[in-house]
Structure 1
Amino acid sequence: MGTFYYLANEGFGLNFNILETNLINLAILIGLLLFYGRKFISNLLTERRSKIEAEITNAEQRAQTAAAALAEAQQKLAQAQTEAEQIRQNALSRAQTVKESILAQGKVEVEKLQVTASQELTTETTKVIAQIKEQIVALALNKAESQLKGSLNDSVQTKLIERSVAQLGGRS
């Protein structure tokens, strides 16, 4: 405490008393440390250096392995992209072929439907015309029969029969 008080009152100063400052003890301690500790520290530093060198070598090997793996992965990626592009091109080609095939089939089916519809229309038209003819004949027969019943008497009927027989080659 006295030294602290002395420094505080007098300012900063150096103490040149060897015994008070323990310079001899410090010199002996440093000498012993250098003499006995040199081998220990040198072994410790050599060991540490070997470990660091081994770690650096190991890290370099891992970096080389990672670089090789990266190059292989990039090659596989490029190959996969090429295959994907080929698959996409094949799919587009197949889609175009299928589209054209479907369109061609659709045209053929439309043509078949048109032909079938035309045939059915012709058939239905023929049936309708035949039915109309039958109805006209039936109406004409009914009208002729009704006119004949009203205007046909015995004398007209006899004349009609004689004329028909004469036309067939009978008496003239």
Structure 2
Amino acid sequence: MTSISPLLLATEGFSLNTNIFDTNIINLIIVIVVLVWFLKGFLGGILERRREAILADLKDAEERLLIASKALEEGQLELAQAQATAQKILSDGKKRAMAIREDSEMRTIQEMARIRQDAVANLSAETARVVELLRLETARFAVEKAIAALPGKLNASIQAKLIDRSIEALG
């Protein structure tokens, strides 16, 4: 504490110097006014240009935001339309596939029925052909048997009667 006391004694207390020339208040006021006047134009211009640049950037950003918002809305609308179109194409494709499948099934059934009818017709024709062959074979066999049996059963008088009847039948 002893080192602070001599310092306080040397200054003789605290007081305000009101002498304008001694304190350079006029010089300070002049310097401050000149600085404010010169810096107002210089700093004010810089600040004004900066303010205008910031406002221009904000305006540009707002315009780009509006354009992007409109593009987003259009994109969402186009997406919705594309999804609706895709859904319609898918639905139409399913319907078409179902119609093709049903048509194919109907054609298969009809073809199977036609094949069955052809098989039945072929079977009937084959049956008739076999029956005709059997009838012809039976008739041929009967004629051969009759011809083989005739010589032993025909005598001269029976042969003469048979010839007379054949001549009468022709005449």
TM over 0.5: yes
Shift of 1:119: 1.0
Provide the residue aligned with 2:97 in structure 1: 95
Q: What amino acid is aligned across from residue 78 of structure 1 in structure 2?
A: A
Deviation digits for residues 56-107 of structure 1, max 9, x if unmatched? 1111110121012101211110121012101211121122122212211221
Note if 1:45 corresponds to 2:44: no
How many pairs does the alignment contain? 135
Q: 1:59 aligns with which of 38, 54, 61?
A: 61
C-alpha distance in structure 1 between counterparts of 2:161 and 2:63, whole Å? 135
Q: 2:148 aligns with which of 146, 149, 152?
A: 146
Task: Structure 1: state its 5+ residue gaps.
Answer: 1-26, 166-172
Q: 2:77 aligns with which of 55, 64, 75?
A: 75
C-alpha distance in structure 2 between counterparts of 1:33 and 1:145, whole Å? 160
Please, what TM-score do these two structures have when normalized by structure 1? 0.66
C-alpha distance in structure 2 between counterparts of 1:115 and 1:49, whole Å? 97
Shift of 1:162: 5.5
Q: What amino acid is aligned across from residue 47 of structure 1 in structure 2?
A: R
Identify the range of structure 1 (36-45 vs 110-119) with the bigger mean alpha-carbon deviation. Answer: 36-45
Q: 1:104 aligns with which of 103, 106, 124?
A: 106
Shift of 1:130: 0.4
- The CA RMSD measured in Å over matched residues stands at 2.8
C-alpha distance in structure 1 between counterparts of 2:156 and 2:93, whole Å? 90
C-alpha distance in structure 1 between counterparts of 2:158 and 2:149, whole Å? 17
C-alpha distance in structure 2 between counterparts of 1:96 and 1:143, whole Å? 69
Provide the residue aligned with 1:118 in structure 2: 120
C-alpha distance in structure 2 between counterparts of 1:145 and 1:162, whole Å? 17
Task: Structure 2: state its 5+ residue gaps.
Answer: 1-27, 165-171
Q: What amino acid is aligned across from residue 43 of structure 1 in structure 2?
A: G
Please, what TM-score do these two structures have when normalized by structure 2? 0.66
